[in-house]
Amino acid sequence: MEDVVVKIENLVKNYRELKALDHLNLEIKKGEVFGLLGPNGSGKTTTISCLLSLLAYNEGRIELFGKPMTPTSYDSKARIGVILQNVAVFDELNVYENIDCFCGLYIKDKAKRKQYVDEAIEFVGIKDFIKFKPRKLSGGLLRRLNIACGIAHKPELIILDEPTVAVDPQSRNKILEGIEELNRNGATIIYTTHYMEEVEQICTRIAIMDHGKKIAEGTSGELKRMIKNTETVTIEMEEPDAALIDTMKKLENVYEVKWEAGKLKIYLAGGTHNLLNIMDALKTSGAAFGQVYSELPTLNDVFLTITGKELRDKD
């Protein structure tokens, strides 16, 4: 059986009349990249704050590394790295000094600390900027510095909250590659983001939260199978007549047909030869049409279907 790194049982957090967390249960195993998704106000940030014992909660239990997590669980806290959305570094220190300062909170041996700091700098790719003050760095480089400060002491559990917001594509790719490498090196990752493509790329398992509850959990594939839609076929054409729409509605696996803005959209549930059947029906009808393309459901489709909301930038 795999080791459980994080265990949250029946967690309740109230802010007066607001129930921020409503009997939340989560279990994260060693070696996972666990995606935590939710719209504004869903409870993601509150969950992380409770997990780190930065926030008291009303009911429930939290265990990290098999031990209860409390404000004085310093041994457990030393095994955690936290990279929050808001960059937290010292403006008066340069890049090297910042990383050395944060690493020094956990690593007292000077030789070992220097090795760890050098490795963190190399890892995030900011070797050419070690003498720069934070205000001289671009947004992407500042994010990389923030990550280096959080992982220099080689934590076993790393919590990343929106680490790629407002960074350039090169820095985003560097950050994502770095997260995957940290995971390959043995770190367990908790990852929050509003970029669905990142979740699909790096997360091994995902939980969707809303109104303080976990409303869905599984791999990307498992979550996609929770919704009715398995395929959407789009046909570019002038407004079709009622007969063609009726023909499409009667095809196997079709559950909805819509025409809008020059596109006929056909929604399907199941089946393996849907596009072929649709093309045959189009040719038989004699209707003129342009491009035809098929799309499989995305995590964004799942999220919108389950929560009825778009995923926004942050809580």
114 with 236, same domain: the answer is no
Tally of domains within the chain: 2
Band of residue 173 on the pLDDT scale cut at 50, 70, 90: confident
Q: Mark whether 153 and 258 lie in a shared domain.
A: no
Q: Specify if 302 maps to a domain.
A: no
pLDDT of residue 40: 76
Which of the four pLDDT bands, split at 50, 70 and 90, describes residue 315?
very low
Q: Are residues 289 and 153 in the same domain?
A: no
Report helix, strand or coil for 56: coil
Answer whether 28's CB lies under 8 Å from 5's CB: yes
Q: Residue for token digits 């929604």?
A: 267
pLDDT tens sequence across 219-246: 999 999 999 999 999 999 999 999 999 9
Measure the N-to-C terminal CA separation of the chain; round to a whole number of Å.
34
Decide if 306 is inside a domain.
Answer: no
- Tokens in use for 100? 């050395």
DSSP of 201-219: HH-SEEEEEETTEEEEEE-
Which DSSP symbol is given to 259?
Answer: E
Out of 224, 259, 286, a domain closes at 224
Question: Does residue 314 sit within a domain?
Answer: no
For β-strands 59-64 and 4-15, DSSP reports them as: antiparallel
pLDDT tens, position by position, 54-99: 999 999 999 999 999 999 999 999 999 999 888 889 999 999 999 9
312 located within any domain = no
Do both 215 and 242 map to the same domain? no
pLDDT, residue 301, reads 87
Strand residues in 16-97 grouped as ranges (E): 18-29, 33-37, 59-64, 67-68, 80-83
Average pLDDT over residues 106-116: 96
* Structure tokens belonging to residue 272: 């393996």
- Tens digit of pLDDT for each residue in 113-156? 999 999 999 999 999 999 999 999 998 899 899 999 999 999 99
Instruction: Give me the pLDDT at residue 267, please.
Output: 96
pLDDT attached to residue 309: 67
Residue 102: its pLDDT value, please? 96
User: Does residue 13 register a pLDDT over 70?
Assistant: yes
Instruction: Kindly state the tokens that stand for 165.
Output: 């917001």
Determine the structural domain holding residue 185 and report its residue range: 4-224
- How many other C-beta atoms lie within 10 A of the C-beta of residue 105? 12
Do residues 263 and 196 share a domain?
no
Shared domain check, 247 and 219 = no
Report the CATH number at residue 257: 3.30.70.100
Q: Which pLDDT value is given to residue 61?
A: 97
Task: Please say whether the beta carbons of 68 and 8 come within 8 A.
Answer: no
Burial class (CB in 10 A: 0-12, 13-18, 19+), 2: exposed
Dihedral sign (CA 78, 83, 87, 92)? positive
Dihedral sign computed on CA atoms, order 275, 280, 281, 286: positive
What are the C-alpha distances in Å from 145 to residues 110, 122, 177, 230, 310? 20, 11, 15, 41, 30
Residue 135 in any domain: the answer is yes
Domain final position from 198, 224, 250: 224
Q: Which tokens sit at 116? A: 């760890």
Confidence of residue 314 (pLDDT cuts 50, 70, 90): very low
Query: Is the same domain home to 218 and 243?
Result: no
CATH number assigned to the domain comprising residue 173: 3.40.50.300
Question: Domain ends where: 224, 243, 260?
Answer: 224
Same domain? 165 vs 220: yes
